Amino acid sequence: MSQELEQAVAPELESIDGVAAEVMETMFFTEAVVAGCSHGWLSEALTARVGFDGTHCGEVFLTISPEAAQSIAAGFLGLDTLELAEPQLEQVILELANIFCGAAMSHLWPESSLMLDAPKLVDAELPVEGFWHRCFALPEGMMAVSIGLRGPMAPAEGN
Amino acid sequence: MAFSVLIVDDSPVMRGFIRRVMTLSGFEVGECFEAADGEDALAQLQEHQVDVILTDINMPKMNGEELLRRLETHERFRSVPTLVVSTDATRQRILRMLSLGAQGYMTKPFSPEALRGELERILGERHVSRT
- Interchain proximity B16–A77, CB inside 8 Å: yes
Distance CA B44, CA A143 (A): 38
Q: Which residue of B has its CA nearest to A22?
A: B109
- Give me the number of domains chain B comprises: 1
Pairing status of strand B29-35 against strand B82-86:
unpaired
Question: Rounded to two decimals, what is the model's pTM?
Answer: 0.86
Q: Please indicate whether, in this complex, the C-beta atoms of B88 and A88 are within 8 angstroms of each other.
A: no
* Closest A-chain CA to B94: A113
**In DSSP terms, which residues pair with A52 in a beta bridge?**
A58, A116
Q: What integer best gives the mean pLDDT of chain A? A: 86
Domain enclosing residue B81, as ranges: 3-130
Question: Alpha-carbon distance B59 to A55, whole Å?
Answer: 21
Best to test chain B binding among A53, A95, A116 (most B CBs inside 10 Å): A95
**Closest residue by Cα to residue A41 from A132, A140, A147:** A140
Q: In chain A, what are the domain boundaries?
A: 3-149
Q: Which CATH superfamily, name and number, covers A3-149?
A: CheC-like (3.40.1550.10)
Long-range interactions of A71-76: CB distance < 8 A, separation 24+: A71/A30, A71/A138, A71/A139, A71/A140, A71/A141, A72/A24, A72/A28, A72/A30, A72/A96, A72/A138, A72/A140, A75/A28, A75/A29, A75/A30, A76/A27, A76/A28, A76/A29, A76/B13, A76/B17
Other CB atoms within a 10 A radius of the CB of residue B1 amount to: 10
Q: What is the mean pLDDT of residues A22-34?
A: 93
Q: Average pLDDT in the A9-22 region? A: 87
By the CB < 8 Å criterion, does B19 face chain A? no
Q: How close, in Å, is residue A112 to chain B by CA atoms?
A: 7
Contact A106 B89 (CB under 8 A): yes
Task: Tell me which chain A residue has its CA closest to the CA of residue B24.
Answer: A78
Q: How far does B86 lie from chain A, in Å, by closest CA? A: 8
Q: Are B82 and B70 in contact (CB under 8 A)?
A: no
Per-residue pLDDT of chain B (131 residues; tens, 9 = 90+): 789 999 999 999 999 999 999 999 999 899 999 999 999 999 999 999 999 999 999 898 999 999 999 999 998 899 999 999 998 888 888 999 999 999 999 999 999 999 999 999 999 856 544 44
State how far the Cα of A141 lies from the Cα of A84, in Å rounded to an integer: 17
Residue A5 pLDDT level (bands cut at 50, 70, 90)? very low
Sign of the dihedral defined by the CA atoms of residues A13, A19, A22, A23, in that order: negative
Condensed to tens digits (0 to 9), the pLDDT of residues A132-146 reads: 999 999 999 999 999
Confidence class of residue A131 from pLDDT cuts 50, 70 and 90? confident
Q: Does this complex have an ipTM over 0.85?
A: no
3-state secondary structure of A35: strand
Among B32, B124, B13, B18, smallest CA distance to B79 is for B124
> How many residues in total does chain B contain?
131
Determine the distance in angstroms separating the CA of A4 from the nearest CA of chain B, rounded to an integer.
30
Q: Please tell me which residue of chain B has the smallest CA distance to A55.
A: B90
- Cβ–Cβ gap A103/B87 under 8 Å: yes
pLDDT digits over A63-97, tens only?
Answer: 999 999 999 999 999 999 999 999 999 999 999 99
Write down the pLDDT at residue A2: 42
Count of pairs with CB atoms under 8 A, one residue in A, one in B: 65
pLDDT on residue A107: 86
Mean pLDDT of the A50-57 span: 89
